[in-house]
Amino acid sequence: MPIELLMPALSPTMTEGTLARWLKKEGDAVKSGDVLCEIETDKATMEFEAVDEGTLGKILVPDGSAGIAVNTPIGVLLEEGEDASAISAAKPAAAAPAAVAAPAASAPVAAAAPVASAPAVASGDRVFASPLAKRIAANAGVDLKAVKGTGPYGRVVKADVEQAIKGGVAASAATAPAAAAPAAKAAPAPAPAVANPFEPAFEEIPNSSMRKVIARRLTEAKSTIPHFYLSIDCELDALLKVRSDLNGRSDAYKLSVNDFIIRAVALALKKVPAANASWGEEAIKRYTDVDVSVAVATPNGLITPIVHHADHKGLAAISNEMKELAGKARDGKLKPEEFQGGGFTISNLGMFGIKDFAAIINPPQGCILAVGAGEQRPVVKAGALAIATVMTCTLSVDHRVVDGAVGAEFLAAFKKLVEDPLSMLL
């Protein structure tokens, strides 16, 4: 039997992807481990490797196709001894929704009984559902108001709609057969949206998969996580001197202030492990590894590559690793293990001159540290006014996971390391 190649789920948040390009052509021999195509996910562009051996018999989804749902057939692999006649039953991915919708159109008249109650449920109440669930429901003629959601806060997700289709639920009033209500008067078409005549000129930029996921996750984070914020000022003069001295000793590395911050965060988490945690409904997860995520700006949005075991790495190793990760992030070449996970995030806008800010927590993590610019400010030392280079850092905290005292203890440990940078070299 031919083997269907399905759109893979290459990240936990991926529901659909873009098939960037095929690296194999129809008729090419395929071995296990061969790269078949490149797929753009919500996070990066990744390679899709073959698991089975055979011949690429048919490409169902062409290069550049966007919005391909996970588990949709994208190609057919022929096993040894099979020819093109074996794939005659294979259908293009675009035909899949029509095949699902067919049973709804040919449903027996007896199924029309629930439709009579449509006005009662069509009360205008909003139904919370994922975009993919809405699309599947629309194609299959399923009334979302009759589907019980199992997602967060009762949100209807893909699995709920698929289960409803298997169980046989009433068609929505919008897709019910006209014969079910012959005497019903056609509802008036909704009035077209009226453009605001006073709105400035604009151009529409389509949302990428990555941008949609960022929007969804940050909205959920700000809506469901009880944030609170702690700020602290750190003097950088000693750190800047050590950085200059170390950079002058070798051409094998070039340390940035951010490299010192990553190292200081890692060591502070080692001293205050209660801050290296995330929320779970049954238990708080306290991480035993110190994996630090670092926000990197890309053309499509923010992504957070991870420095794994950062507490066991020196400044030079952290510096070189971050340069490599940042480059791969901007090129969309990060591997899943390089951006999925992490126990604590750093977001540094100091290089843009931002004095201080409060970042949104990256769920499921419990904390994110927002780092501002180092700038010369007046300070009081030994009762006298002096000038020092000062950096403001703000810790955003999930109060379900980390209490105020723990957050303050972490910031105190972090400040001590930043202001005594030689202790980071031990």
Catalytic residue annotation? 399
Amino acid at 320: N
Residue where the block lists tokens 């048919």:
58
Judge contact between 160 and 132, C-beta under 8 A. no
C-alpha to C-alpha distance for 314 and 4, rounded to whole angstroms: 47
Is 164 buried (19+), middle (13-18) or exposed (0-12) by CB count in 10 A? buried
CA dihedral 322, 328, 332, 338 (to 10 degrees): -60
Nearest residue to 208 (alpha-carbon basis) of 304, 308, 84, 302: 302
Q: DSSP for 239-288, please give it.
A: HHHHHHHHHTT-SS----HHHHHHHHHHHHHHH-GGGSEE--SS--EE-S
CA dihedral over 369, 375, 377, 379, signed as positive or negative: positive
CA dihedral over 27, 31, 34, 35, signed as positive or negative: positive
C-alpha to C-alpha distance for 118 and 181, rounded to whole angstroms: 11
CA-derived radius of gyration, the chain: 27
